[in-house]
């Protein structure tokens, strides 16, 4: 697969970077080490599932944790 942008880490900065890259037309991939993003609360308690939804970051069907 080809991507314009690959973001490593689905924390607050990675999520926002991916969001804005995708909204500007870049084919974007987020790589995250955990099986789920924001659930349970991660990033030392700073990012929740609600925050992920508000950032409009939704893993697609190709999301496969490593």
Tally the C-alpha atoms within 13 A of residue 23's C-alpha that lie toward its C-beta.
9
Helix (H, G, I), strand (E, B) or coil at 28: strand
Number of domains comprising the chain: 1
Say if 46 falls within a structural domain. yes
Give the range of the structural domain holding residue 19, as residue numbers without chain letter. 5-54
Say if 9 falls within a structural domain. yes
Question: Residue 43: its pLDDT value, please?
Answer: 55
* Single pTM value for the model: 0.58
Which letter does DSSP use for residue 57 in this model? -
Say if 64 falls within a structural domain. no
What pLDDT tens digit does each residue of the chain (66 aa) get? Answer: 899 999 998 888 888 899 999 999 999 999 988 777 766 655 554 556 676 677 776 666 555 544
């Amino acid at each position: 697969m080809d991507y314009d942008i690959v973001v490593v880490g689905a924390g607050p900065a990675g999520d926002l970077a991916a969001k804005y890259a995708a909204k500007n037309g870049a084919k974007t991939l987020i790589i995250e080490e955990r099986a789920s993003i924001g659930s349970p609360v991660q990033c030392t308690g700073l990012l929740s599932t609600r925050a992920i939804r508000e950032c409009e970051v939704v893993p697609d069907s190709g999301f496969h944790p490593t």
